[in-house]
Structure 1
Amino acid sequence: MNRARAGRSLKPAAWPGGAKCAVALSFDSDHDTFELRDGGKSISALSQGHFGPRQGIPRLRRLLADHSIPATFFVPAITALHYPEEQRALIAEGHEIGLHGWIHERNTLLDETTERDLQYRAADTLEKVTGVRPVGIRTPSWDFSENTLKITGEMGLLYDSSLMADVDCYELLLDGAPSGVVELPVEWIRDDAAYLIMDRWGGLRPQIAPHDILKIFTQEFDEAYDEGGLFQLTMHPDIIGHRSRLWILRQLVRHMRGKQDVWFATHADIVIYAKSVCA
């Protein structure tokens, strides 16, 4: 219970420029690693992963550019090696690249030595590809082992974005003591995969229409706005990047842009600000 636990809240009393609410849009660029991590060889499944770099990322880049919104892309190292120009283009456009494992591995299935090796190797790879050392991590599938926070702290990373104890940033405690790592929390409610992913071999099929998902995301934002807090959203280029699904994000962005006092920022910038004013 106390290995990695939520500490004090880091919710600012105000946001930069007098903004009432902060928005953190994120995209997990899993691409073909979701099949590769388990040694899968399905050409069909791999082709589904190829949709992200071919269609999803370009569509998302255009949408974000049209609205001048910086976002955070959490990228497995194998994705970065397969699609290096994609990562460099995102950095050039002002987006953040964060850690997302080596090959989208499950941390709770790894021993401490292996997990540490993969996390350090992933950071080195992203820095080599992009020229920028990542300062934050989102564990693949939000799978957080008993060693993850320890390793993240050892690496000197600023933040994690894999846990769900709050809606605003908070400090993470390791065995009851401050770890130095800030959590920018996620939630399945605010994740496109929870509503739109399909299990081809099982019986799971999406059972919710895009306009219903838009309603949920909009309500989450509206409540965050009213509370003067943080609205964080997790998406995947191969999921949200399809035409009818990109409509969800497009409509949501228009709704959020309709309010003048909203700060759109990367995860790193939000954490840096929250930590500085809540010290």
Structure 2
Amino acid sequence: MTDQQPWQWDERTWRGHVDRVRAGRSLRPASWPGGARVAVALSFDSDHETIPLKDGETRPGRLSQGEYGSRVGAPRMLRLLERYGVPASFFMPAVSALLHPGEVRDYVAAGHEVAMHGWIHERNMRLAPAEERELALRAADTLERLSGTRPVGIRTPSWDFSDHTLAITRELGLRYDSSLMADDEPYELLADGEPTGVVEIPVEWIRDDAPYLTMDRDGASRPYTPPRQAAAIWRDEFDEAYREGGLFQLTLHPHIIGHRSRMAALRELLQHIDAHEGVWYATHAGIAAYVWEHA
């Protein structure tokens, strides 16, 4: 079947591809803790130097952009989160954690979650199954050693999801994934039509700073969107989640959002959210645990 074009596939083939990993039952609860109107789950992908390293780029220029994320961006995130009393989830490649072990300790000391984000931000869809598995196990062990707690969740690098990612996630005993996009609200993942017990905390490029604010000198990526315009999109996403009584999830990167003008926009977004009554701020692990018990 591998040499056939998609229009030549029989129904069993195309259904098999579609059904391999699928959204199952909704895990949206009837209510949030304490009668809150909306759940807010902020997350930060602390990629740092692994963005160039994953492509074999070892020169100081690109690496310094990543270093900014740890040296400047992450401390700014921590101060902002402390100001508003917001717990967050930090998804960290193991190599990034090994380069910045003090940062991992700072996350833990502030009460935030440290979760998996690959070994070196590798593209798992280009890996052999055994390679993807070995890197995932090694990353989990590394984060446990550095943070003192075994991670319970994963966000795959670049949200890539191979044919084997879910099986590896289940083997690791992880409670949740946050890499897929089939809903606005949490749901249970299915594997070939069967429930897995893995909670999906869905992401979306709309709610990510990278599409709006990334700069790549040698590629097409340019920060065409002013930071406040990006924040306006996220504000609308929050307002609609609030109206519906659902989940507002946001993905940010310290090396991207951590610059001064962008922090100003993020600060205004948090001010907007904080002005609302009935907001429950939680880590992704906290969301996953709650919806599994109350859906």
Partner of residue 151, structure 1: 168
* SS of residue in 2 equivalent to 1:179: strand
Q: Which has the larger radius of gyration?
A: 2
Q: Within 5 A, what are the aligned runs for 1:143-222? A: 143-222=160-239
Match of 2:10 in 1: none
Residue number in structure 2 paired with 1:265? 282
In the alignment of these two chains, the number of paired residues is 278
RMSD: 0.7
Post-superposition shift, 1:277? 0.5
Q: Say which SS state the counterpart of residue 61 (structure 1) adopts.
A: helix
Map 1:1-279 → 2, pairs under 5 A:
1-278=18-295
Q: In structure 1, what is the Cα distance between the partners aligned to 2:89 and 2:41?
A: 8
- 1:178 and 1:214 map into 2 onto residues whose CA distance is 36
**Which SS does the other structure have where 1:102 is aligned?**
coil
Give the SS at the match of 1:233. strand
Task: Tell me how far apart the structure 2 counterparts of residues 131 and 83 of structure 1 sit (CA, whole Å).
Answer: 15
The alpha-carbon deviation at position 205 of structure 1 amounts to: 1.6
Distance in 2 of aligned mates of 1:202 and 1:16 = 45
- Alignment partners' CA distance in 1, 2:184 and 2:287: 13
Gaps of 5+ in 1: none
| Aligned equivalents of 2:219, 2:55: Cα separation in 1 | 17
CA-to-aligned-CA distance 1:206-255 (integer Å, 9 cap, x gap): 21112211110100000000000000000000000000001121011100
3-state SS of the aligned residue for 1:97?
strand
Percent identity between matched residues is 60
> Normalising by the residue count of structure 2, what TM-score does the alignment of the two structures yield?
0.93
SS of 1:173's equivalent?
strand
- TM-score for both structures, normalised by structure 1: 0.98
Give the C-alpha shift of residue 42 in structure 1. Answer: 2.1
Q: After TM superposition, what 4+ stretches of structure 1 lie above 2 angstroms from structure 2? A: none
- 5+ long unaligned stretches in structure 2: 1-17
Post-superposition Cα deviations, 1:78-128, rounded to whole Å, max 9, x if no partner, equal 011110010011111100000000000001000110100000100000000
